[in-house]
Structure 1
Amino acid sequence: MKLGIILTLFLFMNTLCAQKDKEAVALQTVRGAVVDQVTGKGLPNILVELLNYTPRIATISGEDGSFQLENVPIGYQRIRANGLNYYDIVYTELVIAGKQSVIQLKMEEEVDIEVATIQSNRGSRIRNAKMMTIDEMNVVSARPFNIEETNRFITGFGGLGKAVTNYPGLLNADDQQTYIVSRGYSPNGVQWMVEGVPIDNPNHFAAMGNTGAAFPILNNNLLASSDFVNGAFSARYGNVYAGMFDVNMRKGNNERHEFSAQINLFGAEFVAEGPFKKKGASYTLAVRGSIFGLLDQIGLSIGTSATPSYNDVNFKIDIPTKKAGHFSFFGIGGISNLDVTLDSSAADVFADENYTLNTYLGLVGFTHLKRFDNDFSLKTTLSYLIEDYDLKTDTVLLGQRVREFSVRNFRQRAGLSSILSKKFNSQFVLRGGVSGYLHFIDVKGEWNRRNELYSQAKEIQVLANAFVEARYKFSSTFSFVLGVQGMYWSLNKNSWSVEPRVALDWRIGKRHRLSLGYGWSSKIESFAIAFLVEKQNDGSYNNSNRQLGLNRSHQVVLSYDASLTRVLGIKANAYAAYSTNLGVDRFSSSFSLANHGAYDEYVSYVNLVSEGLGFNYGVEVSIEKFFSEGFYGLLSSAYQRSFYQGSDKVWRNSAFDAQHVTSLVMGKEFKIGKKKQNVIYGDFRFNMHGGLPYTPIDLDASILAGKEVLQVDKPYSERFDLYKVIDVRVGARFNHPRKRISHHFYVVLQNVADFENAYVFKYDAANEKIVTAQQFPFLPNLVYQLFF
């Protein structure tokens, strides 16, 4: 019934638009800049043209690399840039009536010694932007993504974090959070960077020490082309070993003001952009807020009886100058709160106690980019971060709420980084940088009824990084990347490293590429673990976790990429990783921090030492049909294993040993209307992975104890059933050519088959039985977007 109403609405809008614009044809402007992939300098005299369209639409880029294509038809369009001494680049862009398309085309320079040979066979020298990373130093285990791609994938609440789980080797351990498991590593090994500034967890309700949470603060609509890397990292990346989200924010339209608004069952947002002064300066701003109260009104569940509330803002101001350099000011911020009242329902994974959670996160940065000549540049970034996590839990005694536990994690961080980059010629690029972050930490957790501290720290610590890396192209087919990353964390004498990184890149023939990379990576221990304390018999506190060193990982990755046709690509990886210095119990035990990081439960172990080991290996394959002729698809599959060793020296499955992960995303759109300028479409997503291991509950012992008791002698010996979910989206885009307005309607049906996927098993003391908390049930969402 509801689906019928939605389809009727789509048809009505199409009829309305068709009646108002019987003769009008929706056309739009596509403009931007063509730049060198390494230096970012504008490239003049580049031919930019719209492919597969008659009459021909083309232009030549100006002295600063700028270009503008007029009267471009609405819909997905392929744009090619072609210039002397550079490989052609083909870029796909969704063009709509309500917004100009402003894009950046990055071109790779050909090796000088082979230019003459290459010019005679330019047809084989085309690069597809979908197969090229944004940073050319990211040779292995890296994938580019952009706003069009992340908005096309069905992500639910998770935004960018959920979008990458369509790639091989990646899964989300919790439907209600964005805990990204990369190649069997703990999600704690993941790191984010926004405009080059590291940030542990850019999400609402984010606990200090975790890397995922329920709802993103980052707004996909302000996303520029970015990279995700999940192994054998280039030397620029420090304090990471599992996966790096290297996120860039886009500039606003510097010629005209544009707006978009969106409302759905869960929230509303507004985006504005445009020029704010002459000479190319621009702004872009996005604000968003939740309206989850509407779900209660219509009887829908998001997996908890509580009603979360959040608001966030993203912005970027871009100011180019002729002599002083390029300036930008950016930021993201979010506030969120959740109040949960005791509920005995086993289906509610959050409400087994009363608690109140308030979180706040803010990041602002100021960047200056100065080019001393076309091939030598210095980029300097100042940043300030503030995080506040305030949790209070209560229990009910004699009919009254009594404070049981409270934690306040507060941190401010001031940072400065500089990166020098020099392109000596088309063969040799050298880059180096330093960064320093001053952490002002105030952490206090307390068992209130027992009057005992749980965690404690009030201090200033320093995290410093330095790197140097170089890429040398011996020919157009073979190149070599070498670098080293150094890191120092002032908390203890065990937290420093010098990490080599190396990669080889070999292009085989016209369409095939083979890469081999090795990297030694490490990450500091999370604050949630490092600052744990335990009260001793004499009243003092054991704070031995402060001595935990860096978590370290040696990684080797063999990658294969192939452009089978102009619209079909394949990627494959084989990898192995050996981890050391993982936190384990000082005394013989199966416990290891290799299994921590995917759930909200606090680990309360002290007496940890950095002596644990881990071993991961696997094979990944993905086949992608790039968008063409109204259709796209991505099939990914991986076989991956993850093992760990505790202080008892026994190797076991880790909590993230999924064994196999498979996903399929695909979509088809149909042009409708007399001028074929409106679209209806459908997207499909299927995700499946092997059930994750867990430690079983000892029911008899739990009944005797009156609380949950695990079979600690059988850690991670059992598995949840196979996880599977199907998501569907049906939508329509309507373009109003005269008024330059676009409407976008769609409905998302998450877990449309209503699969019951177990999240966790719990002991129900009231009924003396084991109950199952489920992942997300079937959840629909109706969305409307307006671009004007």
Structure 2
Amino acid sequence: MPNNQKGIFLGLMLMLFCIGATAQTTSIEVGRGTYFPSQLLEILRSEGVIIAYSNDKLPKTPIKITKKSLEVDELLDILVRESGITVTQKGNAYVISYLPQIQYSLKGIITDNTSGEVLIGASIFALDLNAGVTSNHYGYYSLKMPPGEHIIRINYIGYEPYTDTLFIESTSENKDYAITPRIEELNEVVVSAYEPNLNIESTIPGVNTINLNTKGQLPYFLGEVDVLQGATLLPGINTLGEDANGLSVRGGSVDQNLILLDEATVYNPNHLYGMISIFNPEAVNKIEVMKGYIPPSYGGRASAVMTIHQKEGNYESFHLTGGIGIVSARLIAEGPLKKEVSSFILSARQSLFDLTLDENSTNYFHDFNLKTNWKINPKNTFYVSGYLGNDRSTNVFETDRIWGNRNVSLRWNHLFGQKVFANFSGIYSQYNYKITQPREAASFIGKSNIIDHTLKSDWVYVINNQNELNFGSSSILHSLQPGQRIPYDENSSADTLILDSEYGTESAFYLSHEGNHEKFKFSYGARLSSLFNFSPGEVYSYENDLPKSDESVIDTTDYRKFQVRKHFIGLEPRASLVYQWTENISTKISYSKTYQYLHLISNTVTPTPTDIWKLSDSHTAPTISRHYSAGLFFNFNKNKYEAFVDTYFKTLDNLVQYKNGADLLFNDNPETELVNGYGRNYGMEFFLKKNQGRLTGWLSYTLSRSEIKVNDLFEPINNGHYYPSNFDRKHDISFVGIYEFSKRLFTSFTFNYNSGRPYTLPVATYNYEGIQVPQYDFRNQNRLPDYHRLDLSVKWHTKNIRPDGTLKKFTDYWTLTIYNVYGRKNVYSYVYDTNELGETEVIPYSIFDSIVPSVTYHFRF
């Protein structure tokens, strides 16, 4: 080759080399945000960088980019440092490889360092790995990480963030963490849709959390802090009004909610016919309401699950907490049985309002909670908890009612090796009711009860930080006494009537998988449930071409004790999917199918203690719910605000409904008074919350419908068309504000508005033995006036903080509450009465028609 040609060739090669070298230092527009390695490598490739890699062999570690643009080498360095990939340069090309590191296990319990109380839902995060988990219902966590030095950060609402640097050098490291509560947090009820960022990342859409940490107390009825009242301030959850038992969740009836107190079923969660819940707030650690996606570990109800976790008691020192108000007085004692090893908490509450009533009044309630715990060793912990509560109410006709709950839970937590956690439980639940009517000619004493004996196990297998298996089983022996009636005395004309007891075994097996893959998080699984009804007694068969009645019975089958009368098996698939668009925005969709084998039989709008529970049998099929939901969840302004929009659609098959004029009290064949229907509930929920600053609070709004169709061949309701259920409320708005004037003075308000619920207006009346009896036509075609109410509260702390910023041993505060500030006469129902002219009058009835002020005092030492 001539010399001049060689010179030209070498010059061209030098130019190409320089161009190639320049390409590696060119600034690339990336943009701030979180990326997975595959996304960053694709950006490099799109900019002309020659890269060889295999997508399925790349780590899934998210990488946070804080600059808008980066040099090629700078971006590659970040990839190597943050994800552990290896970059090999071959000429002008890069070869990407990745050898997964050995994963060790860091596990332990997260607790409060002042009391030893386990913290449920605390987040533990490895900052250098950008990976983390949350503690489960027992405070347990398990985090996978490679050997070496790591920076751990723990966060929990109401607690100081905790950071730890540790060196992992063994395959399994046990590390318990105790974190410090903020001084200003004084154990009040705060309602939150989610903990910070949990609304973005959680695979359980539609979960509401009620924590006992906030800066200001909400205004509650008569100053009684109440967790169920707090739940109604969130979207999709409401009651039927003042003096109404239970909660309606997304249009469901109150018996469609599974309420668990330390895993024990609570059948009636209310005192005073619904004015106050049975849960003493001073004894409660945390409450969750799951109203969207129901994890496969729960079942047996068609609408929602509410889990209440009692406190464990202080492992470090003895404390007394208490309070007194217009309604009740309460006292809580807690402390160590053996320091740092075992603890107890004992609480008692007694009503006081009966002291101000007539001396012959016997209206009261009381409840007791007890819980003890033993940390046998790092792998074994035992728990024993119990509840006892009773109500008594006597009216002007001397009708005396007594009802109450009793629950006992025995639990054993055990760690099997590095990856497996298990909980074993034995549970006893009882609800009983007694009514005495002494003044009638047919005076009587009536009783009913339901008793459950439960055995269950729940297992968690942590595969890695991205995947977790949950599985387990449960079996419940239901024993129901629907009712028995005996004469009050020898002068009574009442007959003795004892309805046949019902027995059944409700069992389930479940398996679920939770995981995440880049921007996707998911949870899916199934629950296989069954009911074997082996109630003894007679079962009637009815003529197919006639409505069920005493006159249409064609045959009787007599079942012996423990002979299976009817059995049902149901497969309940569940799934949820989360797509996280950015750190602050995610979309969630879910599907849940549930079977409900136990039904509350009632023909009243709001449940009463006289209502009975009934197992599914030959005439009463299980209620089947299919629940679909989809929503957009986001945080903004550095988590100062959180919000979501959630939609849902739910269908219900085999809804048990009563016939017009049904008589269900002491009925030995209630199927003659019942029909099956279909339900559909749908709606949209909006939520906006401000988390930081002197002024905090939230706005929630629900737009929804709840409808039923009963197209029975002989007893159709409303001609077989859909009609509003008792729980149908189109609009439901709650507005909450809490303002901190200082560390000692807070004020708050709540405003509630909801559409009037439907009711049935009689079309005529007729006289029967001197009594005006209403006659009805179409059901729930009228509505009560809209409901709205404003409540205010002021909370004042005495000087509880020392100059050095620590809390004094004795702390106390006062709360002034004004319920129904502008004296709204909200109509609860209409009463039909006959005036002096013999004409029927419709009289609106209100529970509270004026302002209700109250003062309460709280202390702790």
Match of 1:576 in 2: 649
| Secondary structure class of the residue paired with 2:229 | helix
Whether 1:421 aligns to 2:482 is no
Q: How does 1:292-311 map to 2 (within 5 A)?
A: 292-296=353-357, 308-311=363-366
Letter in 2 for 1:743: D
Residue 472 of structure 1 corresponds to 515
Corresponding residue pairs, total: 654
CA RMSD of aligned residues (A): 3.7
Amino acid at match of 2:177: S
For residue 591 of structure 2, the aligned residue among 495, 518, 524 is 518
| SS class of match (2:232) | helix
Displacement of 1:714 after TM fit? 2.0
Paired residue type of 1:217: I
**Residue of structure 1 equivalent to 2:278:** 217
Q: CA deviation at 1:391?
A: 1.2
Does 2:809 match 1:740? yes
2:591 and 2:765 mapped to 1: Cα distance?
47
Question: How far did residue 375 of structure 1 move?
Answer: 2.3
**Residue in structure 2 matching 1:356, options 400, 403, 411:** 400
Q: Deviation at 1:783?
A: 0.2
**Cα distance between partner residues in 2 of 1:175 and 1:501:** 35
Aligned amino acid, residue 654 of structure 1: S
The structural deviation recorded for 1:259 is 1.4
Contact persistence 1:525–1:550 (CA under 8 A) = yes
Q: Which residue of 1 aligns with 2:704?
A: 640
- Match of 1:697? 762
Distance in 2, Cα, partners of 1:750 & 1:465: 44
What is the CA-CA distance between 1:381 and the residue it aligns to?
0.6
After superposition, residues 98-109 of structure 1 pair within 5 angstroms as none
- Corresponding position of 2:829: 760
Partner of 2:317, secondary structure, is: coil
Residue type matched to 1:483 in 2?
G
Deviations along 1:157-206, one digit per CA (max 9) or x if unpaired, are 58222111100122110311342111222122111012233332233467
Between the aligned partners of 1:242 and 1:446, the Cα distance in structure 2 is 33
CA contact (8 A) 2:798 2:812 kept: yes
Per the alignment, do residues 751 and 498 of structure 1 end up closer, same or farther by CA in structure 2, a change over 3 Å counting? same
* CA contact 2:314–2:344 (8 Å) conserved in 1: yes
Stretch moving more, 434-443 or 635-644? 434-443
Indicate how the Cα distance of structure 1 residues 607 and 50 shifts in structure 2: closer, same or farther if over 3 A, else same.
Answer: closer
Work out the CA distance in 1 between the residues paired with 2:799 and 2:459: 45
Structure 1 residues 245 and 557 mapped into 2: Cα distance closer, same or farther (>3 Å)?
same
Structure 2: which 5+ runs fail to align?
1-112, 125-132, 144-149, 167-173, 534-564, 604-613, 803-807
Deviation, structure 1 residue 402: 3.4
- Letter of the 1:474 partner, please give it: H
Alignment match of 1:617 (pick from 682, 686, 698): 682
TM-superposed CA distance for 1:404, in Å, is: 4.6
8 Å Cα contact 2:218/2:793 also seen in 1: no
| Structure 1 contact 549–610 (Cα < 8 Å) conserved | no
Contact 2:790 2:819 in 1 (8 A): yes
Query: SS in structure 1 opposite 2:341?
Result: coil
Q: Which amino acid aligns with 1:460?
A: Y
Q: With structure 1 as the length reference, what TM-score do the two structures score? A: 0.75
Residue 331 of structure 2 is aligned to residue 270 of structure 1 = yes
Residue pair 1:691, 1:720 contacting (<8 A) in 2 also? yes
Query: Who is 1:160 aligned against?
Result: 227
Choose from 31, 38, 46 the match for 2:152. 46
Q: In structure 2, what is the equivalent of residue 533 of structure 1?
A: none
Q: Among 302, 316, 339, which residue is 1:241 paired with? A: 302
Alpha-carbon distance in structure 2 between the residues aligned to 1:559 and 1:496:
32
Q: Does the CA-based 8 Å contact 1:60-1:67 persist in structure 2?
A: no
The 10-residue stretch of structure 1 (445-454 or 271-280) with the greater mean CA deviation from structure 2: 445-454
Q: C-alpha separation between the residues in 2 aligned to 1:406 and 1:413?
A: 24
Is 1:74 matched up with 2:183? yes
Letter in 2 for 1:466: F
Paired with 2:623 and 2:482, the residues of 1 have a C-alpha distance of: 22
Distance change (3 Å), C-alpha of 1:269 and 1:670: same
Letter of the structure 1 residue corresponding to residue 401 of structure 2: L
Pick from 719, 722, 734 the counterpart of residue 663 of structure 1. 734
State the shift of 1:611 in Å.
3.5
For 2:819, the equivalent position in structure 1 comes to 750
In 1, the alpha carbon distance for the partners of 2:734 and 2:365 equals 30
**Which of 368, 373, 392 is equivalent to 1:318?**
373
Q: How far apart, CA to CA, are the structure 1 residues paired with 2:647 and 2:424?
A: 36
**What is the identity, as a one-letter code, of the residue corresponding to 1:559?**
G
Give distance in 1, aligned partners of 2:229 and 2:666. 21
Is 1:502 the counterpart of 2:502? The answer is no
Match of 1:457 among 478, 494, 500: 500
Give 1:374 deviation, angstroms: 3.3
Aligned CA distance change for structure 1 residues 58 and 360 (closer, same or farther; 3 Å): closer
The 8 Å contact of residues 142 and 462 in structure 2, kept in 1 or not, is answered as no
The aligned counterpart of 1:91 is none
- Of residues 289, 311, 318 in structure 2, which corresponds to 1:257? 318
Match of 1:444 in 2: 483
Residue pair 2:219, 2:818 contacting (<8 A) in 1 also: no
Distance 2:321 2:286 in 1: 20
Residues 73-106 of structure 1 show CA distances to partners (whole Å, capped at 9, x for unaligned) of 732xxxxxxxxxxxxxxxxxx158xx9x9xxxxx
- Counterpart residue type for residue 760 of structure 1: S
Question: What corresponds to 2:536 in structure 1?
Answer: none
Q: How far is the alpha carbon of 1:509 from its aligned partner?
A: 0.8
CA gap 1:48/1:581 in 2 versus in 1, 3 angstroms: closer
Residue 631 of structure 1 and its aligned partner are, at CA, apart by: 2.1
Do the aligned partners of residues 48 and 463 (structure 1) sit closer, same or farther apart at CA in structure 2, a change above 3 Å counting? closer
Shift of 1:284: 1.6
- Specify the alignment match of 2:55 in structure 1: none
Structure 2 counterpart of 1:561, from 611, 616, 633: 633
1:653 matched to 2:753? The reply is no
Cα separation, 1, equivalents of 2:394 and 2:280: 25
Deviates more, 1:479-488 or 1:730-739: 730-739
- Indicate the SS of the match to 2:741: strand
Give the equivalent residue in structure 2 for 1:329. Answer: 384
1:132 to 189, 198, 202: 198
Shift of residue 696 of structure 1? 0.3
Name the aligned partner's letter for residue 672 of structure 2.
N
Aligned to 2:544: none
Deviations 1:29-79 (A, max 9, x none): 6987766426623779634599999xx99663885232355xx8732xxxx
CA contact (8 A) 1:703 1:765 kept: no
Where 1:161 maps in the other structure, the secondary structure is helix
Is the aligned partner of 1:37 residue 2:37? no
The question of whether the paired residues in 1 share the 8 Å contact of 2:211 and 2:285 is answered with yes
Is 2:847 the counterpart of 1:775?
yes
1:297 Cα deviation (Å)?
8.2
Distance 1:59 1:715, change over 3 A: closer
**Does the residue aligned with 2:344 lie in a helix, a strand or coil?**
strand
Deviations 1:195-225 (A, max 9, x none): 233332233467xxxxxx4432221122223
Q: Highest relative contact order (Cα 8 Å, sep 6+), 1 or 2?
A: 1
Deviates more, 1:724-733 or 1:444-453: 444-453
What is aligned with 1:199? 266
CA contact (8 A) 2:679 2:709 kept: yes
- When residues 427 and 468 of structure 1 are mapped into structure 2, their CA distance, relative to the original with a 3 A threshold, is same
- The percent identity for this pair of structures is 19
Return the index of the structure with the highest Cα Rg: 2
Deviation at 1:702, TM superposition (A): 4.4
Q: Secondary structure at the match of 1:148?
A: coil
Structure 2 partner of 1:716: 780
| CA distance in structure 2 between the partners assigned to 1:151 and 1:403 by the alignment | 53
Provide the C-alpha distance between the structure 2 equivalents of 1:785 and 1:52, rounded to a whole number of angstroms: 20
CA distance in 2, matches of 1:289, 1:52: 30
Comparing 317-326 with 428-437, greater Cα deviation is found at 317-326
Q: CA offset at residue 526 of structure 1?
A: 2.6
Cα deviation code 1:569-588 (max 9, x no counterpart): 00221111111111246xxx
> In the TM superposition, what is the alpha-carbon distance from 1:780 to its structure 2 partner?
2.0
